[in-house]
Chain A
């Protein structure tokens, strides 16, 4: 690529001399690819390790595709019954099982490299989902979903859901007891949907559970529909990323109108290639050394047995936990001969519904309550948007709590606790923990913002104590350098929305006043408590000896006294 780039830019007059150069010239004369190479090679990307989290997801998806193609060569998606006669494992000799399960065993024990590929595929799936979640957290907490990227956030959200769908459909294919248990729960969840539930269940399974159709159907979903959609949406996701240009972290010289970083070629091409091989290496290492989903442990599917420790893969664990926490008594109602199963509907439909709705609407709600229609290309530091950060942490806390609840039996055995008590503690924490997480996070953010103000106004404590001629002792403060100061003063701290009065000039009630009022209330929730960045006037005042206290008293009523007064002694004698 490098040579191609060089030769095309060298001009038409100079004939390429090297072999690569000639090949590149041949290609360029027929496709004009040099234009694209030039454009992309010079495209500037900002530098930060957290921008590589999405790459990890992308590269594990590539690993999924490659290993998945291999597995497709040997897997037979059939629920027909067969008797197993492979040599390994001994616990399957002569057992009756579905062809799908038998082909999974043969793939693992007879096909060279088959087990390795299966394990790489499964580990890649877990890492794919984990990387998506971590990437999403980065985007959320830094506000990278703001205009113009709201739609790309939705594309990313859809990829998360598709990743879950891919994981779930793949998990069910081997037709072992564990995956069958998962399908049975799905069947129950579908049946809990009022009125249409039982019809939908019959439609999905082609009759009463488990039927004879579900494995072939899931196979089509798993190897055709979902991957095709994921590939298409990844393409769209990346296209939009290039179109919008990548966001950058705040810092000196970085604005919403520029991108500070390095050109794609050679810097990011090298970094991405390196990351690609590292991802593949780690996945191969995991597949080679750590057993995952040993389906022969669980045995061929039979609807009667359920083993202890039956759980879904981690990204579905929050649903399992939500089901485990829901009390059963009194939550199943019978109305006119129809059963309404709140015990399934609430944990398996409503709880994930709340989480997913939050993820979908959040960018739009935040833009609305901020009254913000500008484009943003510089990321927020999480502390500078305390309520967003706190909401994210609250939802994350409950997500993790539910995953822990889904593992309550393992927590009980491994920490010697009573499963009943764990369940009750989790039931209470489900409501209490998000509130506590919200309040604590918001306080920490506001505290960090105040600390930033403090640093900008007064600098760092140097530890050097000076005694003046008049006997006064003071500690010398070192002022921040320009880069550090830029980082701490260049952020927005929007005030809650202002609403036009209820009556217009003629005393007529204004239409839409009620809605405006509600938005204002939500806006107050977001921005009532805030810490304004230091203004140039405040900064100048703080650095002009002696008279800055007047400014602090007059200009910063919103600030708690602790920020200004506690350090007054030190700043008075700050050296510049």
Chain B
């Protein structure tokens, strides 16, 4: 009887178990699921300011509600990261039509940029501006970054990010002066000709590794003047212009010395 009693359980036990299982699943999901990283809480005031700025400076092309016009993309769902990248590098507002929007001194200050970002991200969910920790080169692994950069980025941006040509006058810019935050945002949002490298493709940690690799390149070359890090062509130009130039100059000098 005792053994039988021990095996018998309350008739509500399956329900309780089910509830507990659901609770654990939900809890684990809540802990592990990718969160919409909204780093800073945005106030409605920011959104209002952003909307005004947008209508004054951007609506001509992107439409009064950022819905896009012919040949100009809609900004609904591009996220704060895209706005921050485009505006803080000066690419937007665009100065002139050309093969691609050029970087230039930014037209808006940090607060105005944040307001614009807040407005655009209020239109639809999209990638948020990365946190300082996410783009901290100190925390990244340059060696892993180098390997990732080689397979994903170097074919356009050159082996260490000195830039390269694309078709029809477009180009992949040099990354030596690009801020860590902007590098991250570019990978996340894929501006212009650049593909999007989402978090499934290159994880946030790997993005930080790439940033670490690029920042490491800014110390210059161990071998001396880097000559633009452009490879054999610039080396050849320097060999002819400086090396052979000096040697021919010396030969003329020796030849002119009266014997």
Contacts and interface: CB of A to CB of B under 8 A. Distances in A.
A108 B224 CA distance: 13
Contact of B159 (A299, A417, A420): A299
Interface string B110-154: 000000000000000000000000000000011101110011001
Interface residues of A, number: 76
B171 A412 contact: yes
Contact of B158 (A53, A56, A309): A309
B233 A115 contact: no
B255 interface: yes
B222 interface: yes
A35 interface: no
Contacts of B164: 307-309, 409, 413
B243 A126 contact: yes
Nearest to A56: B247
Contact of A413 (B165, B167, B216): B165
Contacts of B23: none
Nearest to B244: A130
Contacts of A417: 169
A437 interface: no
A29 interface: no
Given A91-B213, A126-B243, A289 B146 contact: no
A177 B247 contact: no
A410 B227 CA distance: 13
B243 A130 contact: yes
A574 interface: no
Contacts of B240: 130, 314
Interface stretch (A275-283, A454-462, A470-478, A499-507): A275-283
Contacts of A311: 231-233
Contacts of B147: 95, 299
Interface in A251-285: 262, 267, 271, 274-275, 278-279, 282-283
A314 B99 CA distance: 30
Contacts of B142: 90-91, 93
Interface in B200-254: 213, 216-217, 221-227, 229-240, 242-244, 246-248, 250-254
B159 A298 contact: yes
B155 interface: yes
Nearest to A312: B232
Contacts of B158: 307-309
A298 B151 CA distance: 11
A89 B216 CA distance: 9
A126 B236 contact: yes
B254 A119 contact: no
B231 A305 contact: no
Contact of B259 (A115, A126, A130, A267): A267
Interface in A132-174: 134
Contacts of A211: none
Contact of A290 (B154, B222, B223): B223
A294 B235 contact: no
Contacts of A308: 154-159, 163-165, 172
Query: Which of A50, A91, A123, A416 is packed against the most chain B CB atoms within 10 Å?
Result: A91
A418 interface: yes
Contact of B235 (A131, A302, A313): A313
B248 A134 contact: yes
- Which of B156, B213, B217, B251 has the largest count of A CB atoms less than 10 A from its CB? B251
A309 B223 contact: no
A127 B143 CA distance: 34
Contact of A49 (B145, B166, B242, B251): B251
A290 B232 contact: no
B159 A290 contact: no
B243 A127 contact: yes
Contacts of B254: 49, 52, 271, 274-275, 278
A297 B255 contact: no
Contact of A48 (B163, B166, B242, B255): B255
A298 B89 CA distance: 28
Contacts of B234: 410
A89 B244 CA distance: 31
Nearest to B234: A410
Given A130-B243, A131-B244, A413 B171 contact: yes
Nearest to A119: B223
Q: Which of B229, B236, B259 has the most CB of A within 10 A?
A: B236
A94 interface: yes
B251 A53 contact: yes
B239 A291 contact: no
Given A127-B247, A279-B247, A317 B165 contact: no
A427 to B, nearest CB: 16
Interface string A49-80: 11111011000000000000000000000000
A110 to B, nearest CB: 12
A420 B259 contact: no
B168 interface: yes
A304 B221 CA distance: 25
Contacts of B217: 297
A51 B232 CA distance: 29
Contacts of B233: 309, 311, 314, 317, 406-407, 410
A293 interface: yes
A200 B163 CA distance: 37
A178 interface: yes
Contacts of B248: 49, 53, 56, 134
B250 A418 contact: no
Contacts of A51: 255
Contacts of B141: 93
Nearest to A118: B223
B162 interface: yes
Contacts of A94: 143
Given A49-B255, A119-B223, A127-B243, 18 more contacts: A51-B255, A123-B243, A131-B247, A288-B224, A291-B221, A294-B226, A297-B160, A298-B159, A299-B146, A308-B157, A308-B165, A309-B164, A310-B231, A413-B165, A413-B171, A418-B167, A420-B167, A420-B168
14 contacts: A56-B251, A90-B216, A91-B145, A115-B222, A290-B238, A297-B159, A306-B155, A308-B154, A308-B164, A308-B172, A309-B164, A407-B233, A413-B163, A420-B168
Interface of A: 47-53, 55-56, 88-95, 108-109, 115, 119, 122-123, 126-127, 130-131, 134, 177-178, 262, 267, 271, 274-275, 278-279, 282-283, 286, 288-294, 297-299, 302, 304-314, 317, 406-410, 412-413, 416-421
